[in-house]
C-alpha cells in the first residue's frame, strides 16, 4: 500500500488513501498552530502613584487609583499601586475641569520621568465627579484602561522602531535543539528540517541557546489512534531568552502503525514546513511586524540540506 499527502486536522483525523505513490506526508497542508497570544506592554512594571491633581478627596484618590490598577491588570498591563522606583514606568492620573465637565487624563512617563503620551476617558458631569463614589470611579477606570493599554502598545512600537537591535529591525535568532520522544530517526530529522525551514521564514538559526532570542523545543508523543492507527502529537514549544514560554505550535495526526518507527523521510520535511509558519507567527506576535513591512529576508541556515531518505 502506498501513501500520498493528507490533510492534517487539529483533532487528528487522517484520510487513508492508496495508489498515490511516494512517502507518507501526513502533516502537509496545515500549520496546526495553537500559539498563545500574549499581551506585552512596554514597561516591566507600571507604577501608579496616588493622584495629586484629580479633583477628588484623599479617600476618593485612593479608591480611584485602586480601580485604575485593577482595570489595567484586566487589560494584561503590569500595573501596581505604588510610587515609581528606579526603572519603573509611571502612569500619572489627573483630571481637568472643562466647563461643567471633568475629563479624566492618564499620562505615561518613562523611567526618566519624560512624558511619552497621554489619553483621556469620557467626560463626567462635574457635580457627579465631586461626589464620586466607587461605582463612578470604577466605571471611569474601566473606560480609560483600554485607551491606556493602546497607548502603551504605541509607545512600545515606537521604542522598537528606534532601536536598531530590536527584533522589529532584524531577524530573530532561533535555537532548535534535537526533538525528544519521536520514534525512529524522528528526533534528529524533525529538528534538522526545522533548522532548514526557519531561514525561509526570515529568521536566523543559531547553534546554541546562549546567543539566541528564542529556543524552539520539539516534543513528540505517540498513542493508539482510532481504527487501529497510531496517533502522533508534535508540540513545538517556543521560549524566549529568559526561558518564558511565548507560545506553542501543535500538530496532531494519525498514521499507519509502525510507519515512522525507522525513517521519517519526507514526513519530517512536511512537518517542518508547516510548523515553521506557525512558529514564525508565535515569534512575531512577541514584537509585531517588521519595521519596513517587507517580506522577511532569509537568514543563514545552520545545516546543509540532508540527503534523501528512503521510507519503509
Which one has a higher pLDDT value, 162 or 122? 122
255-312: pLDDT as tens digits: 889 899 999 999 999 999 999 999 998 988 876 555 444 444 444 333 433 333 333 3
The answer as to whether 38 is a domain residue is no
Residues 198 and 227 in one domain: yes
Q: Residue 222 is placed in which grid cell?
A: 505517540
Helix, strand or coil, per DSSP, at residue 43: coil
How many whole angstroms separate alpha carbon 160 and alpha carbon 157? 5
Same domain for 237 and 307, yes or no, is: yes
Does residue 266 sit in the same domain as residue 140? no
Q: In this structure, what C-alpha cell is assigned to residue 255?
A: 498514521
- Residues 52 and 121 both lie in one domain: yes
CATH of the domain at 119: 3.40.50
Q: What is the mean pLDDT of the chain?
A: 78
Q: How far apart are CA 307 and CA 312, in angstroms?
A: 16
pLDDT in tens, 201-231: 888 999 999 889 899 999 999 998 888 889 9
Residue (of 284, 130, 109) closest to 214 by Cα position: 284
| 129 & 177 share domain | no
Q: Per the domain annotation, does 259 fall within a domain?
A: yes
Query: Crossing angle, helix 266-285 and helix 186-197, to 10 degrees?
Result: 50
In a domain, 98, yes or no: yes
pLDDT digits (tens, 9 = 90+) for 232-245: 999 999 999 888 89
The number of beta carbons lying within 10 Å of the beta carbon of residue 126 is 15
Q: Mark whether 188 and 254 lie in a shared domain.
A: yes
Is residue 13 included in any domain, yes or no? yes
Which residues, 6+ apart, have CB-to-CB distance to 10 below 8 Å?
32, 34, 250, 252
Run of H or E including 95: strand 89-98
Residue 277 and residue 262: Cα distance in Å, rounded?
A: 27
Same domain as 267, residue 183: yes
Q: How many domains does the chain have?
A: 2
Q: Is residue 126 domain-shared with residue 260, that is, in the same domain?
A: no
Q: Are residues 192 and 281 in the same domain?
A: yes
Whether residue 184 sits in one domain with residue 307:
yes
- Asked if residue 279 is part of any domain, the answer here is yes
pLDDT of residue 170: 78
The answer on pLDDT for 86 being more than 80 is: yes
- Asked whether residue 62 falls in the same domain as residue 188, the answer is no
Q: Which of 120, 140, 162 is the last residue of a domain?
A: 162
Q: How many CA atoms lie within 13 A of 302 on its CB side?
A: 20
228, 302: one domain: yes
Which residues on adjacent β-strands are paired with residue 230?
A: 224, 255
pTM over 0.75? The answer is: no
Taking the chain, what is the end-to-end CA distance rounded to the nearest angstrom?
11
Domain boundary among 136, 162, 188: 162
pLDDT value, residue 3:
24
In this structure, is residue 266 part of a structural domain?
A: yes
Residue-level pLDDT at 167: 65
Domain final residue, candidates 162, 189, 218: 162
Domain residue limits at 112: 46-162
Amino acid at each position: 500500500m502506498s501513501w500520498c499527502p493528507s490533510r492534517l486536522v487539529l483533532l487528528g483525523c487522517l484520510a487513508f488513501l492508496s495508489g498515490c505513490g511516494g512517502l507518507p506526508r501526513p502533516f502537509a497542508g496545515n500549520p496546526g498552530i495553537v500559539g498563545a497570544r500574549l499581551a506585552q506592554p512596554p514597561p516591566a512594571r507600571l507604577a501608579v502613584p496616588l493622584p495629586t491633581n484629580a479633583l477628588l478627596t484623599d479617600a476618593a484618590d485612593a479608591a480611584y487609583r485602586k480601580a485604575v490598577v485593577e482595570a489595567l491588570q484586566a487589560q494584561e498591563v503590569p500595573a501596581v499601586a505604588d510610587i515609581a522606583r528606579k526603572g519603573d514606568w509611571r502612569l500619572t492620573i489627573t483630571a481637568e475641569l472643562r466647563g461643567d465637565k471633568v475629563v479624566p487624563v492618564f499620562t505615561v512617563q518613562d523611567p526618566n520621568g519624560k512624558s511619552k503620551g497621554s489619553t483621556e476617558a469620557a467626560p463626567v458631569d462635574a457635580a457627579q465627579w465631586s461626589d464620586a463614589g466607587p461605582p463612578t470611579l470604577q466605571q471611569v477606570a474601566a473606560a480609560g484602561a483600554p485607551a491606556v493599554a493602546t497607548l502603551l502598545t504605541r509607545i512600545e512600537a515606537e521604542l522598537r522602531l528606534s532601536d536598531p537591535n530590536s527584533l522589529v529591525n532584524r531577524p530573530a535568532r532561533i535555537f532548535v535543539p534535537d526533538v525528544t520522544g519521536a520514534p525512529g530517526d524522528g528526533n534528529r530529522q524533525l529538528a534538522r528540517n526545522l533548522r532548514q525551514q526557519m531561514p525561509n521564514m526570515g529568521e536566523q538559526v543559531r547553534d546554541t541557546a546562549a546567543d539566541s532570542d528564542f529556543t524552539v523545543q520539539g516534543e513528540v508523543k505517540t498513542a493508539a489512534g482510532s481504527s487501529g492507527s497510531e496517533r502522533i502529537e508534535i508540540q513545538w514549544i517556543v521560549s524566549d531568552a529568559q526561558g518564558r514560554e511565548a507560545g506553542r505550535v501543535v500538530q496532531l495526526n494519525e498514521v499507519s502503525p509502525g510507519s515512522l518507527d525507522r525513517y521519517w523521510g519526507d514526513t519530517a520535511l512536511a512537518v517542518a514546513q508547516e510548523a515553521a509558519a506557525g512558529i514564525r507567527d508565535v515569534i512575531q506576535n512577541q514584537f509585531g511586524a517588521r519595521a519596513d513591512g517587507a517580506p522577511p529576508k532569509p537568514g543563514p541556515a545552520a545545516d546543509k540540506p540532508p540527503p534523501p531518505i528512503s521510507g519503509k
